[in-house]
A and B are shown apart, each in its own frame.
Chain A
Amino acid sequence: GNSVTQMEGPVTLSEEAFLTINCTYTATGYPSLFWYVQYPGEGLQLLLKATKADDKGSNKGFEATYRKETTSFHLEKGSVQVSDSAVYFCALSVIGSQGNLNFGKGTKLSVKP
């Protein structure tokens, strides 16, 4: 079946630190991969996505590269800000699944000034 595993949180960093949130997946078929972000008290927002191997998704300084060989889609940011404090969800969808998303459990990030 299809599933997503992401690193357990919470993750606490100081402002301007480097961020990595690991995400690996298993999928039957050819998945598209997504990172969603949920800021406190809000719904989910699409952060970035990649639809095929070696694609790099990027947005707001965040990046993730679709690595088929390691079945990974790790989220990175070179210098986090306090405003990046949120819960980050890795997710996948498989072609033909009519948009059904499989979510990871979420990783809570807290950035301290």
Chain B
Amino acid sequence: SAVISQKPSRDICQRGTSLTIQCQVDSQVTMMFWYRQQPGQSLTLIATANQGSEATYESGFVIDKFPISRPNLTFSTLTVSNMSPEDSSIYLCSVVGHDQETQYFGPGTRLLVL
């Protein structure tokens, strides 16, 4: 399994500002995923980030709101732009393991927007 870290682990932000979340993996991986978990809810996939190509966004999520970078095979960032209280969630990154189907998750970033 991969070891995944995220920064920051939590933050409190003001509405209208932006926050960039970092995800670092201890090995090279092709695919990385970004999820949102709203309070008391399950996980919703935001986008898939592949190195060297544009991220692929799920229905309901757009690049202007959630720009993603994937500069190399061990790192990705997700920015939550122009935040509102509705963006208060846990944001998690994940990677696919060597079996190409098991996902391993980072510890999450807990975001509160006031």
Contact = CB atoms under 8 A, between A and B. Distances in A.
Interface string A97-113: 01111011110000000
A93 B42 contact: no
Interface of B: 1, 6, 31, 33, 41-43, 45, 48, 90, 92, 94, 96, 100-108
B37 to A, nearest CB: 9
Contacts, number: 52
A109 B106 CA distance: 22
Interface of A: 32, 34, 36, 42-46, 49, 51, 89, 93, 95, 98-101, 103-106
Given A46-B104, A51-B101, A100-B48, 14 more contacts: A43-B106, A44-B43, A44-B105, A45-B105, A46-B1, A93-B101, A98-B48, A98-B100, A99-B100, A99-B101, A101-B45, A103-B42, A105-B41, A105-B42
A34 B101 CA distance: 10
A26 to B, nearest CB: 16
B42 A43 contact: no
Contact of B107 (A43, A89, A98): A43
Nearest to B1: A46
Contacts of B106: 43
24 contacts: A32-B102, A36-B105, A43-B92, A43-B106, A43-B107, A44-B43, A45-B105, A46-B1, A46-B103, A49-B102, A95-B101, A98-B48, A98-B100, A99-B96, A99-B100, A99-B102, A99-B103, A100-B48, A101-B43, A101-B103, A104-B42, A105-B41, A105-B42, A106-B42
